Amino acid sequence: MFPALETEIKPETLSDPYEDFMHHHLQYYGYFKGPTCLPSTGHAQIDAVGKDPLMLSSPLLRSRQLLYDELDEVNPRLREPRELFSFFSSRGPLQAPKWPIECEVIKENIHHIEWVPPEPEYFYQPTGDEKEPEIVGEEQGTVVYQLDSVPTEGAYFTSSRIGGKRGIIKELAVTLQGPEDNTLLFESRFESGNLQKAVRVGAYEYELTLRTDLYTDKHTQWFYFRVQNTRKEVTYRFTIVNLLKPKSLYAVGMKPLMYSQLDATTYNVGWRREGREIKYYKNSADDGQQPLFCLTWTVQFPHDQDTCFFAHFYPYTYTDLQCYLLSIANNPIQSQFCKPRALCRSLAGNTVYLLTITNPSRTPQEAAAKKAVVLSARVHPGESNGSWIMRGFLDFILSNSPDAQLLRDIFVFKVIPMLNPDGVIVGNYRCSLAGRDLNRHYKTVLKDSFPCIWYTKNMIKRLLEEREVLLYCDFHGHSRKNNIFLYGCNSNSRKHWLHERVFPLMLSKNAPDKFSFDSCNFKVQKCKEGTGRVVMWRMGVINSYTIESTFGGSTLGSKRDTHFTVEDLKSLGYHVCDTILDFCDPDQTKYTQCLQELKELLQQEIHKKFSNFGQDVDLEASWSDIPLSDIESSTSGSDSSLSDGLPAHLLNIANELNQKMLLKKTKKKRLQTRKQRNEQYQKNYLMRELKLAEDTPTQLSGRNKGTSLEPPLTSLVLPKNKETVQTQLSGRNKGTSLEPPQTSLVLPKNKETVQTQLSGRNKGISLEPPLTSLVLPKNKETVQTQLSGRNKGTSLEPPLTNLVLPKNKETVQSKKPGFTASCSPKRSTNSGLGPAPDVKANWPRTRYPAPRKERSAVAAVYPSLHIYTYP
């Protein structure tokens, strides 16, 4: 472009000092093998660059912060700033997941294709002849696979790294003795895998032990493992021996999932339901601890020498999520209205992603008017069905459908697709690496131990300050009930009575073959106070739900007695979007119909409840006064676990933080009752009076003879010379005064007559007083202020009398006769809000302060004591 300039620079090349340093640094540690930058040629060419602006176009001097156009010219536009946390780049590989340093991880990448079965997959129908194999154990069997070190209860997470445990990864499966050896080779040391031990107890029978959630001794439900060296047309039996739940969908026909690698590559067939002779029963081996349960099934593999996988449900890993988000980031259309950001880092250092989905607004007012919808999933890592529902929601909301565009126009969607990435990566069923169920700790103060939910709650709290949050949904899975349903929270407000049930009823109408409204529950139990839906509901989100999707299938409509597929779950994500539109439709016909239907259903439920107890109730008169919590059963059927509290190593930290927060609250806490406020006020008043009495004797006569919750305070600033000042306050504030009247009088230096009489005052209830401040002139006058017939009604604040006692000896007399109580606050006896028409306000002419010079002179000689009342 500039030949003369190029020939001038070619002999001596300028280097970037930072690049030069980094190349030497990487070379020193053996990470960079390329040539280093050429050394700098000194100040001569730097001065030349400063003198000749054309040299800025040289590629050797380019700044990486500027963007260049197609003509290779400088464009004064800066690049986008980097994220606070590293985000995936379209030009580089995905961020590899981080594992605890105790975990061994194989180097293979596990990937499965998505596939929808062409025919419905029906439940297994028990015949009654299913066997219950007796547990043999490794004493009589042969261990063919076992994890060496698994951190359990008592241990806790310390650090993580990409790839998990350092060193050489050992081969845990047995070594085959030859081609005729038909021993299965097990493996689970991959992402989301879970299998701790496999014992061969027969030629084709294996007993399997699942690994508990890391750093715990329970939560065995999720399984996902690989087998190799299979034989076709041979019946294998697998028995999982350490399940913890007494009830399971396997007892009512649910089948495990199997995936064949050869079928996937040859026939494009993915996960499918397989298994016969399925039996769920109690383990006969009693070790004196909690009872264990077994799941046994038989299966035939489709090919010889195949690689197959078994899983509790369709896996959805952290890497799967990253690949999906990367496709969004690389899509030029979707990336305009979907902004992936890093909400925080998990305990192991994995990124928790937050998606903000909305169409750009034309004006700031339009942007501020949008309501928010918050969706989250995978707080329980073993409930992968939540991720598939979330996937369906994202597929629809990011599409070019008119309904999707409308939703993006009127809402701001905040989506957290994977709340517990650590648990998903290591193959936990319920807990994070803190060893606790995150969905029981949304009220936690331990930001460093539970970062995912702490930052989620904080994000929603800030969102509520900006705009209304219309809906909060947390997607879960359920292992003991079929269909899809939700848990909500009963509204205590009569204004919103039954309104929290409208959304689930609409959803049941939009997905009648999947969603069961009868299985929904809205009772808030004490053990669920730490869950996301209850905490968000108490923060002000009325429509706060936990959507539960079964691991099994549907018992409704056209899908009756069939397993759910991935497409079924993804379709529910679409139905959630459709229901949001119905719920917010300006035409409230659907909403009103659902509300009326809910009232009728509730009447029937009440009648049924009372009929069971042999009682009659008048539904027309009193049915709406019956608490909904008394009608509804508990959520004991939920797939929940009680909170285990905090781990031992976190108890001290939590106690210290709670004490600090309690001290902060104690300092800022206002007195709770009016009695306490009055007692504190009297105490402060007496303390001030005693201090003043040490310097100036005061005579207080005829004071507080009436009924006043707080004594009136009279503080007079008397002149050095003898003066007489008379102030008459008669017939004023005949309401009840909860705080004392205060009159602040500043007297002149010359002789005046001052007398204060408080008679017939405060006979009613006055919550807030009028303030009378009198400033008297220097010349000899008699100042008399009469406030009669004023505020005979209700006063929300008591009259304030601020009297500052003089340093010299004077006589102060205050008279305050008794008064009667009245229930009307700081208003007239009329029913209207305004004052009586015949009553005129009698404002004193001395209401405004004296001129600056007089005021300053008085203040310099007579310092006053100001006493303020409570609002």
Long-range CB contacts for residues 15-20, cutoff 8 Å, separation at least 24? 15/39, 15/40, 15/60
Q: Are 268 and 115 in contact (CB under 8 A)?
A: yes
Q: Cα(117)–Cα(311) distance, rounded to whole angstroms? A: 17
Q: What is the DSSP letter of 433?
A: T
What are 276's strand-pairing partners?
Answer: 298
Cα separations in angstroms, 466 against 168, 437, 458, 545, 559: 52, 30, 13, 21, 42
Q: Cα(474)–Cα(383) distance, rounded to whole angstroms? A: 12
Q: Give the residue among 219, 216, 214, 197 at the shortest CA–CA distance from 206.
A: 197
- Is residue 797 flagged as an active site residue? no
The pair of structure tokens assigned to 869 is 């009342």
φ/ψ (deg, to 5) at 152 = -120, -160
Q: Are 112 and 259 in contact (CB under 8 A)?
A: yes
Q: Give the residue among 690, 679, 740 at the shortest CA–CA distance from 711.
A: 740
Q: Are 429 and 222 in contact (CB under 8 A)?
A: yes
Residue 390: its H or E element: helix 385-397
Helix (H, G, I), strand (E, B) or coil at 439: helix
Q: Are 577 and 393 in contact (CB under 8 A)?
A: yes
Q: Are 224 and 188 in contact (CB under 8 A)?
A: yes
- Other beta carbons within 10 angstroms of residue 660's beta carbon come to 11
Can you tell me which residue has the tokens 């980097």?
Answer: 82
What are 800's strand-pairing partners?
Answer: 771
Between helix 402-410 and helix 566-583 the angle, nearest 10°, is 50
Q: What is the DSSP letter of 96?
A: P
Residue type, 861: V
Q: Are 460 and 536 in contact (CB under 8 A)?
A: yes
End-to-end Cα, the chain, rounded Å: 77
Helix (H, G, I), strand (E, B) or coil at 657: helix
Residue 610: its H or E element: helix 589-612
Considering the candidates 548, 723, 752, 797, report the single residue annotated as catalytic: 548
Q: Are 536 and 491 in contact (CB under 8 A)?
A: no
Residue 432: its H or E element: none
Q: Are 416 and 376 in contact (CB under 8 A)?
A: yes
- Other beta carbons within 10 angstroms of residue 173's beta carbon come to 18
Can you tell me which residue has the tokens 């500027």?
Answer: 66
Q: Are 230 and 206 in contact (CB under 8 A)?
A: no
φ/ψ (deg, to 5) at 692 = -70, -30
- Three-class secondary structure assignment of 446-506: CCCCCHHHHHHHHHHHHHHHHCCEEEEEEEEEECCCCCEEEECCCCCCCCCCCHHHHHHHH
The C-alpha R_g of the chain, in whole angstroms, comes to: 39
The pair of structure tokens assigned to 587 is 């035409």
Q: How many CA atoms lie within 13 A of 487 on its CB side?
A: 25
Give the residue numbers marked as catalytic.
548
